[in-house]
Amino acid sequence: MQVKIEDLLLLVSKYDICNIDKIKKAYDYAADKHAHQLRESGEPYIIHPLSVAKILAELNADADTICAGLLHDVIEDTDATKDEIVAEFGESVAKLVMGVTNLTKMSFYDKKTIDNANLRKLILGMTKDVRIIIIKLADRLHNMMTLQYKKNLLKQQAKSIETMEIYVPMAQYLGLDNIKTELEDRSFMYLKPDNYKEILEKRNKMEKSTNLLKEEVILKIQKILNQENLEPNIKFRLKGIYSLFKCFLRYENVDDIHDLLSFIIILDNIDECYLSLRYIHENFKHIPKHLKDYIGQPKPNHYQALHTTVVGPDDKLIQMQLKTYIMDQMSQYGITVFWHEDIKNGTKIMQESLKTQYPILKTILEANKMANNNQEFVNLLKGELSEKIEVLTANGKIIEIAEGATPIDFAYKIHSEIGNNMAAAIVNGHYVDFNHKLKSGDRVRIITDNNASGPTEEWLLWSSTERAHKKIKEFLNKKKKGILIRERKEIND
């Protein structure tokens, strides 16, 4: 169903009635500029920016962000100018529009070069204003929702690959779980259509077959907690299509998937979460290895909850996630939760939070500093955003690192000097070789020595991340040129 301007205004009026006129003005401007343009679906082009704006409004986005969503293509695709947008909507809206506008008028040699330049511009833009990447995620989500109208199969797949490599993990790092799931499911549909259809059918059957179990478990949890004067709000979640596909690759038997069926138990405060965990464990047999305390140790994207897997009816494994209302909001809206809490100051709080509390910002800035060109930046970024496992530092801090990583990758993830001076690695209390493959949940400690000989050519074979490879090569090049000896002598002196 096509979204209408009335739908958008109604949505915004629920949390920001004061800025309705400004948003309507932005819509009128965009509709006028795109008046004679059509999408590949044959629809009026304005449907796209309007849909992007609606996705943003569902995140409780501020008025400037929604206006920028409506205007995000006018400079690139029409005769509109930045000065015009500044005059009509203000400097803030204009900066956001420019942040998501491609560098199409620059003279590059090929499409890949300009794509890399555009991506670097976009990603660096978010370091100054996180709303830029949020607008882009909404833009990409609607494009993926209508990708069937792009008849070229190779273009569909290229768009899906880019979405999987960049935008899915970016949404995950910012805690935008709903957008992340939707993006990866739709990308999966174009990259592996047969697998997608097969998993979708299995998921639909699971949904029907678990209805009775779902009702039984919810009633039992409510009874258990009500007896202790606790009043939970309980929701049920079945894994997404792509998540299921990945599970089927790891597990031969569907009954072995410990988090296939999840019950989200929302409570009033943290004390109630821990108390409820105790009462649940008293009434259900739990699987100790799947007990995770993300309240005491939140994920890097600020996700918090207690996770436990228990044996439910018919010996089915079921996961229970215990969290407060605020934690549940954070799990749905991620960094944009601040818009829900304070629409007036939310954007400012979001940017400060990104700067001080989200590791993704540091990752982007380091990649930019390390990269000698746009291609290298994109390669480093993709490496940092690839599929992750969670390992722990010696003091218990969660570090997300690429699947297949070794202690070498871990050391360079912490700091290049730790990697260059690594003398030994301890995993779960035992010394391991440098080519040891880390697993999720491992506790890793790196022993350093300023007199260590440093990386060798073999380390390039024993590591898997772009970051480690680049730092090792830099070390080896300096060593060949004799620079390293002088630098180390200066440090020791």
Active-site hit among 7, 43, 58, 76: 76
Domain range summary for the chain, segments of one domain joined by +: 5-191, 210-334, 387-492
The two tokens of residue 442 are 């491992």
> Which of the four CATH numbers 2.40.50.140, 1.10.8.640, 1.10.3210.10, 3.50.50.60 does domain 5-191 have?
1.10.3210.10
Cα 293–297–300 angle (5° rounding)? 120
pLDDT of residue 147: 95
Q: Does the domain formed by 210-334 have CATH 3.20.20.10?
A: no
Q: Is 389 in contact with 403 (CB distance < 8 Å)? A: yes
Q: Is 160 in contact with 191 (CB distance < 8 Å)? A: yes
What predicted TM-score, i.e. pTM, was given to this entire model? 0.87
Average predicted confidence (pLDDT) for the chain: 92
Cα separation, 322 vs 277, whole angstroms? 7
pLDDT of residue 300: 87
Cα separation, 397 vs 276, whole angstroms? 25
- Decide: residue 176, CB within 10 A, 0-12 exposed, 13-18 middle, 19+ buried: buried
The two tokens of residue 458 are 């073999």
pLDDT of residue 449: 94
10-residue mean pLDDT series, the chain (493 residues) = 90 96 98 95 95 97 98 95 96 96 65 89 95 97 95 93 95 95 97 96 92 95 97 95 92 86 97 97 95 92 95 94 97 95 94 93 91 92 85 88 93 93 96 95 94 92 92 90 61 56
Please name every residue paired with 216 in a beta bridge, in sequence order, or none if there are none.
none
Residue 55 half-sphere exposure, CB side, CA atoms within 13 Å? 27
**Annotation says 194 is catalytic:** no
pLDDT of residue 395: 87
pLDDT of residue 485: 57
Cα separation, 123 vs 65, whole angstroms? 17
Domains 210-334 and 387-492 share a fold: no
* Class of domain 387-492 as given by CATH: alpha beta
pLDDT of residue 387: 75
The two tokens of residue 475 are 């070390």
pLDDT of residue 384: 84
The two tokens of residue 388 are 């992750």
Q: How far is CA 152 from CA 130, 147, 159, 183, in A?
A: 32, 10, 11, 19
Closest CA to 445 of 467, 418, 466, 483: 418
Residue 400 half-sphere exposure, CB side, CA atoms within 13 Å? 18
pLDDT of residue 17: 95
Active-site hit among 43, 58, 77, 390: 77
Q: What secondary structure letter does DSSP report for 10?
A: H
pLDDT tens digits, 114-126: 889 999 999 999 9
**Annotation says 409 is catalytic:** no
Q: Where are the beta strands (DSSP E) in 268-325?
A: 292-293, 306-311, 317-324
Q: What secondary structure letter does DSSP report for 165?
A: I
Cα separation, 386 vs 319, whole angstroms? 26
The contacts of residue 316 (CB under 8 Å, 6+ apart) are 213, 255, 261
